[in-house]
Amino acid sequence: MCAQRLWPTVQALGRGLVSSRSEIIQQGVKAYNAQNFNPNHLSQGHSSSHERFPLSQRIIHTSRGSFNKVVTRSVHSGTVLLVKEFTDTENEHAHAVLRSLPAYHATTVARDESLGSSSHHQHPFPPSDAEWSRCPADEVANRFIATSQECRHRPMDLEDTRHSGLCSELVGSLAQLSDDHLLRVLSALSLWPPTSATRTPNFVALWNALDQACTERINRWDMTRMFLVADHWFALRLSRISMYNIHMTKLLGRKVLSMAPSQLVQYLFYANLSRKLEPFIIKKDIEKRICEVLSQISVEELGVIAMGFFKTQTFLKNERLVEAIIKKTQENLECVSDASLCAILKLLRKSTPVTQWKLMHNLLESLVPQLDRLNNMCLLQVALLGNDLLVFHPQVINMIASRFASDMSNIRMKDIERITFALMLYNFVPSSRPDIFTLVAEELRKPERTVEINHYPKCFVSCVVYLTTLGFFPQDLISAALQPSMLSLLSMNRHYSDMGREVSELDWSLMIEGPPNYQGFRLNPDLREQLTKEYLGNLPGGPSKGLTHQERLLMEVKEKLAAILGGPEFISITHVLPHVQTPDLVFCTNSEGQAVALPQEYRELAPTALKRPFGRPGEINWNAVIVAGRNSFIRNTEDLRGNVHMRRRQLSTLGYYVSVIPFMEYNRKSLRAKLSCLERCLKDGSSLCMDGCIESAWVTLKGKADRQQEIFG
């Protein structure tokens, strides 16, 4: 059922749950130790002395979807649908864009319009349902249209039994109506007030019959008629589940090259509503046509196109088109609406290839003067714009962080999580609001956030993980994120299947860097072991042909470090940090800086074990080498991205000397240049005495290369 028609039911449900939710939570807290406490998930008990998550905010397991969603069922497919109680403002904005332009007047309808708006003689209702069967199809349709018109002045209930006969007879008469008459009936249905229940027989019967009738006739209609009918389904808020809309987008998918600019825009609007473009639809044809018409459409229409691509998870492959969209957006930044800019930025974030990262940076630079006028939702998309390519614009992030910090209480949990992710990714502490991490933590503690956290536990846990990645350890929030009831919420949702990685990382980070007096919730050791095994990366080995680029790079660096140290027995590849997927290189030196063999007991540690240095400090110096690949650095800088920075910090905390080998510098052709890079990095971060090492390694590696050249010619 459409959200619009269910609004009174949803509203009543929401009011009831809001008034009782706090009581439910308090009862859950009182019963928490008796019902939800699982000692197997804890390594220690709680202590009243440490920082705790307020009792009023304990996350408990309540039925998901009970507060801000209503569960209903598609009559066609039988699949469960989650109907949001709030209006889908993005789609409303896109439709308003179409309505505002003359090119779409013939194919769209306003919400208060009706093709059945002409006056009809008011007839009394027949005394019995049987009498309707003697009425011609046109008479039945006209009577329904007239009755629908009355709803404008005297709202009625479509499920009233006195309308049942009319509705039933109309369902059987639709096949006999002309196309225009059928469209007027479809339009008239939207005039009725929302029904009082999620599955009401008259409404369900009518829209299903209309859906079938429209779908059966679609092959004989031109594109103008198809779009007009599709817009009436949008007015009913049934586009996503109507067979008509799905069939229409399939049928027109092969005709995009012949579409006029306005037709292409409107087609992608309806594709957005159905949330999919069929696999057989040629995406290259759509991109080609957009390239041809881009100069003929407005930036607002471009926003509708971008929404169609993003909502169908279809991203651009044509680099020339991406460049043209960036240019058009820059030219119209002063006049583009927030909603349209949001859609365009979402598409560009997922579509811009790494070869065009400078265009992305230029767009961020162009956005700086506009930031003050943009709303929070749009600001978030600006902050996320460079994330996929690691393109960082400090001024942009600094200004947006300041805005978010000043309005934190009005920002959705999802958006708090996303802005925290951006700050973590760039390892950035905003100079304008260095206290933003404290503000985020305070916001997560507020009782007003409890229901939101309960419905979106992933956002809460991810936020806590990002804070710890930045070196900020709020003990009460960590305990709340690791408590059994929160883990249960995460495990219930198939969309959170990858959260085990973040939960595992949080627990390991707590073990390495957490406060020594922490006594909150921890993962059960068996569960941590299971999750660590599941997400542990591979140790490279075997033929290089089957290795990834990063694995080949790691093996190459290992070979050269072995030559520098004096032999392969002095170095090992291992997961020092079991929650980090990429392994590190480890070697040891004595107090004079000479390489010594790694202790055998260290080599025999389990792959999933945290590998702390052995021995007394000063007797053996432990060294870890991070081979930082192409995605370890912020674009065009020597600054490590947030989680690699955390990796270096945690290795240092464990007691390792840490060297970082940057891909950009190391990835040169000559052996001499590679060795020079390693020499510089080891001098900066390791305990190795480099006297004579590089020349010795040069002789060893050059001789090996010469022998291979002789063998293979």
Residue of higher predicted confidence among 113 and 481:
481
User: What mean pLDDT is predicted for residues 400-409?
Assistant: 96
State both tokens at 209.
């019959």
Question: What is the C-alpha end-to-end distance of the chain, expressed in Å?
Answer: 73
**Final residue of a structural domain among 508, 535, 562:** 535
Backbone angles phi, psi at 117, to 5 degrees: -85, -10
Residues 6+ apart with CB under 8 A from 350: 310, 315, 388
Domain of residue 23, residue span: 1-86+410-535
| Mean pLDDT, the chain, whole residue set | 84
Look at the chain and report how many structural domains it folds into. Answer: 2
In a domain, 176, yes or no: no
Residues 568 and 470 in one domain: no
User: What mean pLDDT is predicted for residues 461-468?
Assistant: 98
**Final residue of a structural domain among 535, 567, 602:** 535
Residues 435 and 484 in one domain: yes
Look at the alpha carbons of 175, 178, 183, 189 in this order and tell me if their dihedral is positive or negative. Answer: negative
Of all residues in the chain, what percent carry a pLDDT higher than 90? 67
In a domain, 160, yes or no: no
pLDDT in tens, 485-520: 999 989 888 778 789 999 999 999 999 999 999 999
Residues 630 and 705 in one domain: yes
53 pLDDT more than 50 = no
Nearest to 342 by CA among 86, 91, 110, 635: 91
Phi-psi region at 224: left, alpha or beta (left = phi > 0; alpha = psi -120 to 50):
alpha
In a domain, 190, yes or no: no
Residues 496 and 604 in one domain: no
pLDDT in tens, 325-335: 999 999 999 99
Spatial contact of 374 and 396, defined as CB atoms under 8 Å apart: no
User: Could you tell me the pTM of the whole model?
Assistant: 0.85
Residues 579 and 477 in one domain: no
What is the pLDDT, as a whole number, of residue 77? 28
696 pLDDT more than 60 = yes
**Final residue of a structural domain among 535, 565, 596:** 535
Residues 568 and 484 in one domain: no
Residues 530 and 555 in one domain: no
Residues 571 and 645 in one domain: yes
In a domain, 676, yes or no: yes
Residues 516 and 627 in one domain: no
Of all residues in the chain, what percent carry a pLDDT higher than 70? 83
542 pLDDT more than 90 = no
pLDDT in tens, 408-451: 999 999 999 999 999 999 999 999 999 999 999 999 999 999 99
Coil, helix or strand at residue 296: helix
What is the pLDDT, as a whole number, of residue 133? 67
> Predicted confidence band at 129 (pLDDT cuts at 50, 70, 90)?
low
Residues 697 and 595 in one domain: yes
The CA distance from 612 to 586, in Å, is: 11
The CA distance from 608 to 533, in Å, is: 6
Residues 493 and 624 in one domain: no
The CA distance from 401 to 68, in Å, is: 28
Spatial contact of 282 and 242, defined as CB atoms under 8 Å apart: no
Residues 506 and 605 in one domain: no
